[in-house]
């Protein structure tokens, strides 16, 4: 009898994805079944002899793991959008393929972006805090009590204007925004891809910004949705905030370090901007209760839940299994990283 | 010299509205200038001889006030959507006209409705609470961590389907919802008014529900947007929640007593529904920190901020001044209550 192909999976998968994996009775499936992240020592021990490994964002894929696995390893399937946890060079020199799951979370992240925009404008964190503290009975009504800027007639500025930015814009159109501008790695140039057909068809102007100064100064809402690179790290700085409108809000659903946290704290404390809504932050998840940003009532911070919908996570799990199986059979993956 | 017409205004108004009022140099304007609500005794004292009174929601307009003012009083202009604070019968028998400001807040309330739907689905209150408590570093990532239902492919059920409900639906369309149903005071009958042209044009079915049981059982999102009447009080009850889907959320942006609070607490505690987003609640604003609903992590409660945008409140203030002036001159108001 031929030896079965071994795969290691660092997590119990969501139902449909687990069933898809389990139908492959020709595979020897070694799986970490706890609800906690996989132990590194367990992974190194069991990787030996594996042809494929399905990993989470919390599992480092490096020389150590590849050596522990051995020369037969031919596919890493990562249940993630980013691949920062994977040493691409190490895979490339061994001709190991890398699958990932970047596309299916667009809707979930765009939904959360709209939520954070509205929460920043409408003071959701601040007003919920007052209710939770029992202060509502002592808030005498007056016409400007807990008011914030209205989204209608806003100019929305996108730092990065890929699939998620465009999906966000699509959702914002019926709120009555009046204009969108965007800054990409090619300032002043129109984007090539119109993912949802809105750029051509929208009834409002959608235009490239010449530079970050223009985007900061003309936007009522700034959406940070670009990749983190050396040139975008701390792109949103004290200078950026100083050019923003006093009634503007900023939302970050991309990567924490694009915004200089100290500059944001200062901008909020000095009322240079109206509010902020963050799904990501520098040094996450190591944010303690005494973090200075948490003392700013106009800042909403949620714990990186952009893609955290049941439907999206189910689809990511299923796609990661498909990528694993495709890698074993030398077939096309749903999404493969070019190494 | 003719005696100037006296008007009493129970609040300092927002800039533009105050300027509009002050241009009327032919008026004797007596105004309460504190940022706290107007003292009742001050109002009763100064109403004497007034031809018009501009009031806030916090000022009761009753027999006592009308008698204190005297027979020359011809207009009450209320800076409010509701007129529960006004004794309409007392006005009617004196032929006093009543202006109010109901129309300009549609956008602000519809925006907040979308915010509350997303917050209820995406566990915004619960996840912000964990971050604020410093728990983020101790939240090991796993695929279903902090996940909630996704809005795409949802059926959205509207209890009440007037201007605000329809404006909410208009905003939800690009989120990829698949169907809308609604219940009005005429169950099973299509609504007459298509305020934004979406009912005819939308690419998804938009249909009347036969009864509340159908609406409760088929909706992934329930939006409470109907008027409070004897027949809608506690319409959302234990029975209603027992018919809802386990992954459904409910949002109330209308009036608190439409939802039975005890039933909601029980539904959340027993996981009969996924979450709730409330702008209003029974007995508001007397909600203390130990209110049982505040102990439910999947409930988001904000302090009746539906119309609380700077733009909307400015427009309401301006419209209330216009109504006051129109009443003095026997002209048409922007919005007048038929008594």
Please state the rounded mean pLDDT for residues B11-34.
94
Rounded to the nearest 10°, the torsion over CA B54, B58, B60, B65 is: -50
Q: Give the residue, B141 or B102, on which the prediction is more confident.
A: B102
Is pLDDT at B225 greater than 90 in this prediction? yes
According to DSSP, the residues that pair with A179 across neighbouring strands are A155
Residues 303-322 of B with CB under 8 A from A: 303, 305, 308-313, 316-317
A3 vs B: CB within 8 A:
no
CATH architecture for residues B106-301: 3-Layer(aba) Sandwich (3.40)
Q: Tens of pLDDT along B148-180?
A: 999 999 999 999 999 999 999 999 999 999 999
List, as one string, the DSSP characters of A230-288.
TTTTT-B-HHHHHHS-TT-EEEE-S-GGGB-HHHHHHHHHTTSSSEEEES--TTTT---
| Confidence tier at B2 by pLDDT (50, 70, 90) | low
| pLDDT reported for residue B142 | 81
Is pLDDT at B35 greater than 90 in this prediction? no
Interface probe with A: pick from B143, B284, B302, B312, most Cβ of A within 10 Å: B143
Question: For chain B, how many residues are written?
Answer: 339
DSSP state for residue B207 in the 8-state scheme: E
Radius of gyration of chain B (CA): 23
CATH architecture for residues B5-104+311-328: 3-Layer(aba) Sandwich (3.40)
Q: How many helices (H) and strands (E) does chain B have?
A: 12, 12
Whether the CB-CB separation of B316 and B323 falls below 8 Å is answered with no
A175 vs B: CB within 8 A:
yes
A122 vs B: CB within 8 A:
yes
Cα separation, B339 vs B95, in Å, equals: 9
Q: Tens of pLDDT along A45-84?
A: 999 999 999 999 889 999 999 999 999 999 999 998 888 8
Q: CB A289 to CB B56 under 8 A?
A: no
B1 vs A: CB within 8 A:
no
Half-sphere exposure of A14 (CA within 13 A, CB side): 19
Q: CB B132 to CB A310 under 8 A?
A: no
| pLDDT reported for residue A143 | 84
Whether the CB-CB separation of B57 and A141 falls below 8 Å is answered with yes
Fold match flag (B5-104+311-328 vs B106-301)? yes
Is pLDDT at B267 greater than 80 in this prediction? yes
Is pLDDT at B1 greater than 70 in this prediction? no
Question: For chain A, how many residues are written?
Answer: 339
Q: Tens of pLDDT along A295-319?
A: 999 999 999 999 999 999 999 999 9
| pLDDT reported for residue A35 | 75
**What is the full per-residue pLDDT of chain A (339 aa) written as tens digits?**
468 999 999 999 988 999 999 999 999 999 998 878 899 999 999 999 999 999 998 899 999 999 999 999 999 999 988 888 999 999 999 999 999 998 789 999 999 999 999 999 999 999 999 999 999 999 987 888 999 999 999 999 999 999 999 999 999 999 999 999 999 999 999 999 999 999 999 999 999 999 999 999 999 999 999 999 999 999 999 999 999 999 999 999 999 999 999 999 999 999 999 999 999 999 999 999 999 999 999 999 999 999 999 999 999 999 999 999 999 999 999 999 999
A230 vs B: CB within 8 A:
no
Smallest Cα distance from A304 to chain B, Å: 9
Q: Mention every residue, 6+ apart, whose C-beta is less than 8 A from residue A66.
A: A73, A87, A90, A91, A94, A96
CA A113 to chain centre: 10
Q: Tens of pLDDT along A262-274?
A: 999 999 999 999 9
Is pLDDT at B248 greater than 80 in this prediction? yes
| pLDDT reported for residue A34 | 80
Q: What are the boundaries of each domain within chain A?
A: 5-104+311-328, 106-301
Q: Which residue of chain A is at minimal alpha-carbon distance from B300?
A: A128
Short-list A110, A107, A113, CA closest to A222? A113
Cα separation, B287 vs A237, in Å, equals: 40
Interface probe with A: pick from B15, B38, B125, B147, most Cβ of A within 10 Å: B147
| pLDDT reported for residue B34 | 81
């Amino acid at each position: 009898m031929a030896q079965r192909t071994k795969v290691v999976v660092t997590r119990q998968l969501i139902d449909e994805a687990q069933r898809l994996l389990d139908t492959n009775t020709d595979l020897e499936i070694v799986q970490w079944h706890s609800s906690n992240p996989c132990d590194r020592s367990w992974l190194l021990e069991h990787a030996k002899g594996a042809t494929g490994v399905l990993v989470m964002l919390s599992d480092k894929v490096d020389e150590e793991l590849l050596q522990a696995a051995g020369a037969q390893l031919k596919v890493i399937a990562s249940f993630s959008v980013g691949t920062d946890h994977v040493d691409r060079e190490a895979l490339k020199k061994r001709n190991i393929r890398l699958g990932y799951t970047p596309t299916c979370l667009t809707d979930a992240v765009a939904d959360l972006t709209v939520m954070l925009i509205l929460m920043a404008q409408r003071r959701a964190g601040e007003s919920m805090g007052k209710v939770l503290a029992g202060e509502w009975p002592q808030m005498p009504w007056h016409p400007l009590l807990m008011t914030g800027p209205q989204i209608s007639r806003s100019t929305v500025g996108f730092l990065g204007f890929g699939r998620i930015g465009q999906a966000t814009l699509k959702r914002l159109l019926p709120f009555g925004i009046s204009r969108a501008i965007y800054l990409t790695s090619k300032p002043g140039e129109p984007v090539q891809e119109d993912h949802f057909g809105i750029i051509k068809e929208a009834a409002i102007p959608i235009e490239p910004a010449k530079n970050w100064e223009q985007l900061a100064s003309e936007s009522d809402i700034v959406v940070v949705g670009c990749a983190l690179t050396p040139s975008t790290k701390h792109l949103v700085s004290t200078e950026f905030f100083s050019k923003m409108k006093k009634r503007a809000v900023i939302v970050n659903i991309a990567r924490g370090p694009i915004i200089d946290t100290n500059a944001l704290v200062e901008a909020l404390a000095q009322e240079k901007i109206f509010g902020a809504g963050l799904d990501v932050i520098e040094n996450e998840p190591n944010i303690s209760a005494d973090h200075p940003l948490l003392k700013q009532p106009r800042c909403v911070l949620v714990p990186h839940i952009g893609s955290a919908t049941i439907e999206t996570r189910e689809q990511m799990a299923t796609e990661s299994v498909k990528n694993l199986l495709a890698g074993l059979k030398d077939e096309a993956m749903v999404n493969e990283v070019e190494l």
